Amino acid sequence: MTKGIIELDASFISTGNAVGKKEFEGPLGQFFDTHDTDDRFGKNTWEKAESEMQRIAFNMALKKAELGFDDIGAIFAGDLLNQCAGSSYGLLGCMIPYFGIYGACSTSGEGIMLASVMTTHKIFDLCAAVTSSHNCSAERQYRTPIEYGGQRAPTSQWTVTGSGAFIIGDGEAGKVKIKAGLPGRVIDKGINDANNMGAAMAPAICDSFCRFFAESGETPDDYDLILTGDLGHEGASILRDIMQIEGYKFGENYTDCGILIFDKNTQDTHSGGSGCGCSASVLSAYVLPEMEKGRFKRVLFVASGAMMSPDSIKQGESIPAVGHLLSFET
């Protein structure tokens, strides 16, 4: 029995993603499967648009692998909307056993880990992990509707309008292997600023990294890419500092999904991207395909989430966070 690391023998069969206009105009625009020019995806509400993104991303992943709904044993899905309504409505009609999960921005990592456990232990041959976020639906749930025109703090992040879907099978089925996972612990360092998610989440990611390195005996230099999602510029800077205090120095092989998805100089996103759809879309559209091409052979990924609610913020509570770690190899 290990202290925290779960040995996995799973792989990515295929991925799919869909993003909004701002995301398509960013540095990774060429890599996304599809995008929408007005962020509505043909729907009349932002919430319905988010559900439609999930439907599109999931169907895209199935199409690439030439699979149907009946081939998937179970689906793990979640989003930022209350009671994960975006996922349940978006995947309605698939008739696949459904696990609704909530990990805030860490939902992609949580879903991939759970799906990998299921396929590693032969409970299901294939599983899916799907998640999404929408800037407009998240803003009016957690802060104020965009029509209000509230001023954003420099440390605030821009919730990504995007969705990512992953089809996961056993370790021999795909080129990119899911070798290990380490479930995150809830960490709260007293940050209560809802406009600085990076500061709230960085300690939880640090905790997961330190536990993994201590238990595995590996170091940051053993990986071609160390990736977090989604700390943005502010949180990534904090993470570098506290990891160095713990004795682990991150070099040029470290970056964050919230940094990659937007251009800091030309897109007004302040500290970068965030939301369930940020790491899901960056991972599915850019990182995993680059691994298949041979650019990255070993990737260490931690998806982080701020586990707050609209009510907890209104009541002045501090923001607990979690960081789920996964190790990928080709």
Residue 45 placed within a domain: yes
Which secondary structure element, helix H or strand E, spans residue 311, and what is its range? Answer: helix 310-314
The residues pairing with 254 across neighbouring beta strands, listed in sequence order, are: 226
- What predicted TM-score, i.e. pTM, was given to this entire model? 0.95
Residues 199 and 233 in one domain: yes
Domain that holds residue 53: 10-170
Mean pLDDT score, 117-131: 98
- At residue 145, the pLDDT reads 60
Alpha-helix runs per DSSP H in 37-146 = 46-64, 85-90, 107-120, 135-142
If asked whether residues 160 and 307 sit together in one domain, one would say no
CATH number of 316's domain: 3.40.47.40
What is the rounded average pLDDT of the residues 233-253? 97
Q: What is the pLDDT of residue 71?
A: 98
228 and 184 in a common domain: yes
* DSSP string computed for 254-284: EEEHHHHSS-TTTS--TT-EESHHHHHHHII
User: Domain boundary at 170, 196, 215, which?
Assistant: 170
- What percent of the chain has a predicted confidence (pLDDT) above 90? 85
pLDDT digits (tens, 9 = 90+) for 247-277: 999 999 999 999 999 999 999 898 999 999 9
CA distance 330 to 293: 10
Which of 186-190, 193-197, 296-300 is the least confident region?
Answer: 193-197
Cα–Cα distance list, 145 to 73, 141, 202 (Å): 38, 8, 27
Helix residue spans in 121-256 (DSSP H)? 135-142, 197-216, 232-245
| pLDDT value for 270 | 84
Average pLDDT over residues 20-49: 97
147 pLDDT band, cuts 50/70/90, is low
Specify the amino acid at residue 163.
S
